[in-house]
Each structure stands twice: as C-alpha cells, then as structure tokens.
Structure 1
Amino acid sequence: MHPLPATFVEGFHDEAEVRRMEYRPFGNTGLAVSKVSLGCGTLSQLYGNLDEAEAIQAVQLAVRRGINYIDTAPFYGQGRSEEVLGRALKGIPRQAYYVATKVTRYERDIERMFDYSARKTRESIERSLQLLGVDCIDVVQIHDIEFAPNLDQVLQETLPTLEALRQEGKLRFIGVSAYPMEILREAITRAPGRFDTVLCYSRNTLFDQSLARDYLAFFLQQKLAVICASGHGMGLLTNAGPQPWHPAHEHTKAVCREAAEYCSRRGIELGKLAMYHFLQLPGPATFLSGMQTQRLVTINLEAHSQGLSTEEADVLAHLKESVFPKIVHPHWEGIEVEQYRAAMKASKCQYAGPVSHRPRPTDVTLSRTCSRLLETRVFRIAIIDVHQEPSPITQQPTPRSRKSRENSVTTDGTDVRHGRNLGDHTVALGEKSLFEQDLGDQFKIDASTQGVQKVNLRCGADSMRIELKTEEDFQGVMYTRGSYYKQTKPCFIRPERAARTLEMKFNLDQCQTVNNGEVYSNIVVVQHDPDIVTPGDAAFAVECDFRKPRGVTVSSEIQARDSPAASRITLTSPDPSVNSQTPNEHNSVHSDSGTVTFVPSRFRNGTMPEQRVRGTVETVEIPISVPVQQPHEEL
C-alpha cells in the first residue's frame, strides 16, 4: 500500500484503490504523479467511434481510482478530445488531477496540420483553457517537433511563447514530444533547463525497447519528467488490432496479429500483457495509456496492482520468446514525416509535371490538374513481386471514367493496369499502382532498381559498408531507416557532386541497426530525388549474420570478427510500412563470405536476359578467396 498523494480528495476518491497506486516524482516540478496515467487520444475518432457518455464515465472512474495525470491535445479529433475531457472534468474536483495538453499540431488538412508560430500558440492555449474548463494548464507540450520546418523555429519562437504564457499564469510547466527520440535529445541539448518534461511514445513496447536502451539515461540526467506513452504501440498490441492509418511496417502488423490471435484463442487480452510489460521499466515518471471505456480502465489498473495470472505470464513469456523476435522493423520512424513532406510538396503543385527532375526512360506524368492534385495526401512505395514476364506488354490503354477510383496515370502510353515499359526492361504494375493517390485509398507505387547497376554490402567486424553504383551520375541521397529527416552522416549520404559510385559505412551500433541475436540488419534507401520518394527508387534490406562461425578468416578490410558473416541483401521498399510480410518473395542474394553484391538482371554480362524479369538481382559476386582454417576448440 502507498501513501496518499497531494491530489487525494476525501469523499471523491476510492481510498483503497488510491493506496494501491504508486506515485512518482515528476522530474523537478515538485509534483507526484500516478505511475499509470490517462491518455486522451482515444477521446476522439482516432481509434474508431467514440461512446462519449462511456468515455466520460471512464475518465471519472480512472481519477477516482487514483490516476491523477491526464494528457490530451488539440489534434486529437481537432478539439474533440479536449471538449469531451472538459465535460468529464466538470465532475471531478480540480485538486484531484493534473492536466496536460499540447500545441503546434492541429488540423487533419495537410497544409494546416502544423503551426509553430507565436500567434497560433497563444490562440491554441486560450482555446484549450476554454475547452478544458480550467484557469491554468499544468503541462503544455510542443507536439511532434520532428514535423517542424526546422528546430530553430521550435526553440526560438514556440518555446519563448510558452515561457511568456507561463509568466502570465496560463500554464505551469513546459514539455516536448516526438516519435524520433534523437530529435528530442537535440532539442533538450540546445535548450538546456528550458523543458520540464519529455514525452516519447511506442518506444517501450513488446517489440521496441529503444527508450531504455538509448535515451532514458540521458533524459533522467537532464532532470526531466519522462512520460512514457503508448505501451500498446498505438493499438498494435491489442486483440482488436490497430486502426487502418497505423504507419507500422506490414510485417510488424502481421506479427502483432499473430500474437493477438494466440491470446484470443486462450481468452487473454494482449493489451493487458502489453500494459504489464510497459509498466516494468524503471525510470519514467508515468506511463500514459488510452482508456476510453471503464473496462479498459479496469484492465490497465489490474495490470498495475495485481500483475498477471500464471496463465497470462506463461503466454507473455511465449510471445516474448517465440513471436515478437520475428519483427524486423520495430518502429516506423521517418515514415510519417516523409509522407507529410511529400504531400506538402504535392499540395503546392510542385509535381504537376514529371515526377522526377532526372532523365529517365519513362517519366511519369500526372493526368490530373493542379487543383485535383491538391486533394492528394499520402504517397507510398510498394514492393515488386518477383515473377517473370515472358514478353513485353503490348496492350493498349483502356479508356476509363474520370470517376474511376483506380485513377489514370500513364507512362509512355502504357496503361498502369498492364505495365510500365522501361526501354527493353518491363516491370509490370499491379491493379492499384499509381503516383496520385486519393484520401483513403491504398494505392501504391512500385519500387524498382531503375538506374542501379550494383549494390555491394561488406560486413566488417563492427561495421557495415554499402557501395552503390548507378547507370548515370547520381544526384540523390542514400540513407538508413529513420535517417531522412535528420540528414546526418554516416546514416545519410548526399554526394557533394554527381557521381556514379556512392559509399556508406556505419558501425553496427549506429543508424538504428537492429541486432537480433547477432544478426544485424538495416534498411538502406536509394532515393534519386533528394526531396521526395518517386517511382524508380528502391530500398534494400541489408543483413550481417554472425550466428554461425565457420572457422575461417577474411583478411584486410573485410575482417569479420574471427569468421566471415553470412551476408544478405533483399530488394524491399523505400516505405517500410508497405513492405511484404514475406521478404523471400523478393529476389535476394546472400553469401557465406563477408561480401555480397546485388546486380540487377539487365546488367548481367552487359546484356538483357531472354526473359524479362519482374524484380531484380540474380547474381552474387564474391571477389575474395577465403582460406579455410581449423575451428578453434571451445574452452
């Protein structure tokens, strides 16, 4: 049993339940907050239809049972969350809770989604005060700073405005939030002592532990109140599953579905297991979770106060050991930012002409007008399914109505339903492959290795080296997963001048390289236009496998510990969120040496193969001789 907090109100609270709750220091603020806190993103339509009456009762039940920290934002339902929460708070004594909201992210419309200006920040605080029905907001956080045009505006305009509002008595403490944690570190480093709290989400889950591994110690050293949010991975780790908009990799979603089905067959809620795991991390001040129903409040509080049953603990152990290790892409960092920037660029009609500025065998031209393009929002890149086309496609375009949901984007007179003619090389596109995309549609653009002659991977003792060779001078960028928005070496390479060879080298503990039992993997994106993913771009899954020493030595620059690594490169997608659940469907090459080379089939021996291959890569080059030695005896 725990002592009663300063927020306890006799006659309102369930004292026995409050004493079961743990209360922790909230950084240097002097507050003590409940270990479990209430996230109100679910008090909107973000996670499906909302039963407002039930949601209000859930909020009041949560506070009555000891939760005293509540988080919301104007973006959640464009004010709906703050409005519903304000109605719920009318039935709760003001002393009983601390309320937090956010600024800078507001509308669903792409051009009005973010606003970091002083004027909008002031307007937002005034509106939040009104909707919440309070005189002062306890914590105001700058929302999703990774989307800002630059960090300077956040630190030189938004932050000083909040500091002025604090002096005016309209807020007490200032925080910052983002999904990529490196930008949080940068903001905190550049503005020492000016932030009181830091919120990171989906970084302490059953499939992503990067908060504890890479950043928690730094945040705590800065005396910040660490708010750990979304232990359910924004719905991934629940039996019901995520909403359609979830940006996670498709393979990640599939593994989480497998876990949910395993739990459902045993009458267990995956969300409770996720919540229990979420709460075990020492260090954060509070663990924020959405609870829009009284049932969810009960499940989450039981996970805190009662733990798991023997059966639930066994299921959790099984999932940790046998299911979640299958996940290759534990996060979706960078995906939403790149989609946002692409949509912003499109909304300003900068792509009403050719998709790319570089010469190509086939430029893709949008068939709609600029005003039509303003409705475009999301751009994704799909995977090439590997199969063979016996002959070039010769069918003519089929007329279609402008009302068709398939849309019409043509390439050199070839209808997108049938294929795209790449000179002597044909890549067939799917029924729903296009550049322009309507809201709500799941249409995608095929990726290819157009312009790529060779991708070479070398696995070193503690590093990976990737070399790109192209047909023509390369003027784009090459980067690893989640590195596009930061644009810092060694994870992001942009040549100073055009060249046909580009090399990237990074250590195995850099660039968000994933280590899964001595298998080190990453995604390397080859993007021809520095500003936007376009058709013809590609991404490669690169992997160095040190699990099975072979007792051989590789000399010189590709020394791979005491033995060479098994290496693999797989054609994937510039947008990991639409990658295949089965990477083996895509052509990959691998070797048991420290070197493996990806060569598109059209460059093999300098000639075209007789059959045109939809996909890429069928040749492995091993340019070294590997002397076989006797394996060392195990001591």
Structure 2
Amino acid sequence: MHTRTLGNTGPAVSALGLGAMAMSGAYGATDRTESIATVHAAMEAGVTLIDTADFYAMGHNEVLLAEALRGRDRDSYVLSVKFGMLRGPGPEFGGVDARPEAVKNFLAYSLTRLRTDHIDIYRPARLDPAVPIEETVGAIKEMVEAGYVRHVGLSEVDAATIRRAHAVHPIADLQIEYSLLSRAVEADILPTLRELGIGLTAYGVLGRGLISGHWSAGHVGGPGDLRGFSPRFSSGNVEHNLALVEALRRVADAKGCTVAQLAIAWVAAQGDDIVPLVGARTRERLAEALPATELDLTANDLAEIEKAVPAGAARGDRYPPAFMSSLGVRN
C-alpha cells in the first residue's frame, strides 16, 4: 500500500482510506461480524486511515470500530472523527453544534466509545452558522495542546472558511465529497487547499454506489438506506446517471479494470495530496477497491474518462434539499 501525507502538517496515511459509515446502517442492513472482518482485512492490506463520526448511528460506529481495533498497535492506524451533527431518536437531524464547550463534550464521548486516549484528526462535520469557525477550531486547538487530538481537520466548508480556520491552527485536511459526479471542489476549494498546504480526503468517490458499476435502475435499498432520499438516485435522474456509468464501463473494460476501480483511481490521480475514502462494508467490496491504488491512469485514460463523464454531467443534487444549505459546495 502506497502512502500519502495529508498536507504540510498532517499525518502520513495509506493512499486509500476506509470510511466506516456504511457499517452502521446508513445504506441498509449490515452484519457486525462482516464489518469487523472488513476492518481487519483493510488493515492487513495496509490501510491505515479509518474515518468515522460520532453521529453515525449515534455512537454505534465508534463502538464497532473500538471492537475491530482492539489489541491493535495504536500507532498502526489513523482515526479521523467528525462531530457536531445533532440527531433525535428517529431519523431526523437537528442541526449542528460546534460551540467550544460542545467540541470538548463530543470529544470526551468519542474517546470513551473508541477506547483510545487520542483522536488523530478531529473535525466538525459541518459549519455551525451560529458559531464562528475560529471559536470551533480554537477549541480543537486546546485539545491538541492537551494531547487529546493530534491534528485539526475540516469537512464540507467553503474556501473562505478554510482560510479563517487555518489562520487559527494549521489544518491537516479537508474532507469533502469529490468524485466524477461531484467536481465543484475543483473551482475554488482545491486551489485554496494547495495554496495553504492542506490535504483533501475525498468521500463519496463512488457516488454512494451509484458509479460503482453495481447499481441498476429500479433497485430499492433496504430499510434505512439513505439513498432512497438522494436526488441522484430518484426516478428520472438515476437513469441519466447510470448512462454515464455505462460510458465509464466501456473505458474500464478497455483498461482491464472494474468501473469502481476506475472511479477510485480517477480521484487519486487528481493529485498526490488527495486520499480517496472507500465506504466498503464487506470484504468483497474492499477487495474490489484495493487494486485501484495500483492502477496507473495515462493522459489518454484521463481524456477518455472525461469524455465518458464530463464535469457537471450528473443529474440531481448530491444531498436532499434540507441538507444543501450546510454544504461548502453544492455539487
């Protein structure tokens, strides 16, 4: 497994990271034993970056990871944790709380659930419109100085917010959606990150499965599958988007790889400062994703991919309307 360094001040991590959200029911039913086996398989393959959030099934994901990581050398993996999203006992979300006192409270819970004495990268999941980013980052900075956090990260914020946060404490990386279907970061955010020496961890590199090569029109996820509310998966949009996937499949076939591998490799090829996160919840999907780190895309390959899925070609927003206002970029 190759490694990449997150920005000028962040840690060295595997060139492919594991996003654990899907292991806690975001895309339907999961199997605990298989989830833990997938984490183990990822680490055995050299994956060191593991991403979670305290609100993934309200702590379930952190507890799951604690079990999967039990007995492992703490220096053998890098934990990235998001915080701040508020939820009720049902499916509803209640906004964001990134007040300094909330930062420390959320962190205390995460440290306990993860059974660790520090978080490697700690980041607010979204910008709290009621709290200046300087106050939120200032609170995380205090936790860095106290030894509970190693690095400060951001998630889904715009270029101006990145600059303000970085002025308070060096930011290791920005976590944001980046894929062939979601390329808005290329206009302002990616240049800003590179100017400031900040890395990017890209989630949604397979469009939540839409460009994995395994989704089909008419497919219905199980209970709790958030894709049932996603505009890109809705009738009328999904057919258009899957036509893009079929164009991509022709490029993948010519390259001798799967659609998923090509989509992941494309993100990785956009710069050595970018680390794709793959939300595999089974060893089968992980095994498919891993070879993407060895896939060398030529200039001709990249041109063919661009023809198959041009920037802005996706139909539908990447989140339901209620969540769009909290994003640093829309698509």
TM-score, normalisation: structure 1 = 0.44
Q: Which amino acid aligns with 2:114?
A: L
Cα distance in 2 for partners of 1:240, 1:106 equals 32
Matched, 1:196 2:179: no
Kindly tell me: are residues 111 and 52 of structure 1, through their superposed partners in 2, closer, same or farther at Cα, counting changes over 3 Å?
A: closer
SS of residue matched to 2:192: helix
Matched, 1:332 2:298: no
Task: Identify the match of residue 279 of structure 2 among 269, 285, 290.
Answer: 290
Q: Name the structure 1 match of 2:73.
A: 93
Q: Name the structure 2 match of 1:248.
A: 232
8 A contact 1:33–1:285 mirrored in 2: no
Q: Name the structure 1 match of 2:218.
A: none
Cα distance in 1 for partners of 2:289, 2:200 equals 20
8 A contact 2:120–2:149 mirrored in 1: yes
Moved more, 128-137 or 111-120: 111-120
Cα distance in 1 for partners of 2:230, 2:51 equals 21
1:157 shift after superposition = 3.5
Task: Identify the match of residue 221 of structure 1 among 171, 195, 219.
Answer: 195
SS of residue matched to 1:72: strand
Question: Where do residues 26-105 of structure 1 align in structure 2 (5 Å cutoff)?
Answer: 26-29=6-9, 31-105=11-85
1:261 shift after superposition = 6.1
Find the structure with the greater CA-based Rg. Answer: 1
Q: Which protein has the bigger helix share? A: 2
Report the identity percentage: 24
String of CA shifts for 1:149-170, please: whole Å, max 9, x gaps. Answer: 34xx042432222122222211
Cα distance in 1 for partners of 2:172, 2:17 equals 14
Matched, 1:174 2:156: no
RCO comparison, higher one (Cα < 8 Å, 6+) = 2
Cα distance in 2 for partners of 1:284, 1:47 equals 29
Q: Which amino acid aligns with 1:135?
A: D
Q: Name the structure 2 match of 1:163.
A: 141
SS of residue matched to 1:248: helix
1:285 shift after superposition = 4.1
Cα distance in 1 for partners of 2:72, 2:44 equals 8
Kindly tell me: are residues 280 and 59 of structure 1, through their superposed partners in 2, closer, same or farther at Cα, counting changes over 3 Å?
A: same
Q: Which amino acid aligns with 1:244?
A: G
Task: Identify the match of residue 291 of structure 2 among 287, 294, 302.
Answer: 302
Q: Which amino acid aligns with 2:286?
A: V
Q: Which amino acid aligns with 1:270?
A: V
Cα distance in 2 for partners of 1:268, 1:227 equals 23
Question: Where do residues 274-423 of structure 1 align in structure 2 (5 Å cutoff)?
Answer: 274-306=263-295, 320-322=306-308, 324-325=309-310, 328-329=313-314, 332=317, 336=320, 338-339=321-322
8 A contact 2:13–2:48 mirrored in 1: yes
Kindly tell me: are residues 485 and 307 of structure 1, through their superposed partners in 2, closer, same or farther at Cα, counting changes over 3 Å?
A: closer
Q: Name the structure 2 match of 1:132.
A: 114
Q: Which amino acid aligns with 2:112?
A: Q
1:144 shift after superposition = 1.9
Kindly tell me: are residues 261 and 31 of structure 1, through their superposed partners in 2, closer, same or farther at Cα, counting changes over 3 Å?
A: closer
Cα distance in 2 for partners of 1:164, 1:50 equals 37
8 A contact 2:180–2:311 mirrored in 1: no
Note the residue ranges of structure 2 that are not aligned, 5 or more in a row.
216-220, 222-226
1:330 shift after superposition = 5.8
String of CA shifts for 1:97-154, please: whole Å, max 9, x gaps. Answer: 1111011114255463422223332221111111111111111011122xx334xx04
Task: Identify the match of residue 116 of structure 1 among 95, 98, 107.
Answer: 98
Count of aligned positions: 309
8 A contact 1:247–1:332 mirrored in 2: yes
TM-score, normalisation: structure 2 = 0.80
String of CA shifts for 1:559-600, please: whole Å, max 9, x gaps. Answer: xxxxxxxxxxxxxxxxxxxxxxxxxxxxxxxxxxxxxxxxxx
8 A contact 2:210–2:233 mirrored in 1: no
1:37 shift after superposition = 0.9
1:209 shift after superposition = 3.0
SS of residue matched to 2:4: strand
String of CA shifts for 1:358-377, please: whole Å, max 9, x gaps. Answer: xxxxxxxxxxxxxxxxxxxx
1:89 shift after superposition = 0.6
Kindly tell me: are residues 195 and 331 of structure 1, through their superposed partners in 2, closer, same or farther at Cα, counting changes over 3 Å?
A: farther
8 A contact 1:38–1:291 mirrored in 2: yes
String of CA shifts for 1:359-399, please: whole Å, max 9, x gaps. Answer: xxxxxxxxxxxxxxxxxxxxxxxxxxxxxxxxxxxxxxxxx
8 A contact 1:99–1:138 mirrored in 2: yes
Matched, 1:209 2:183: yes
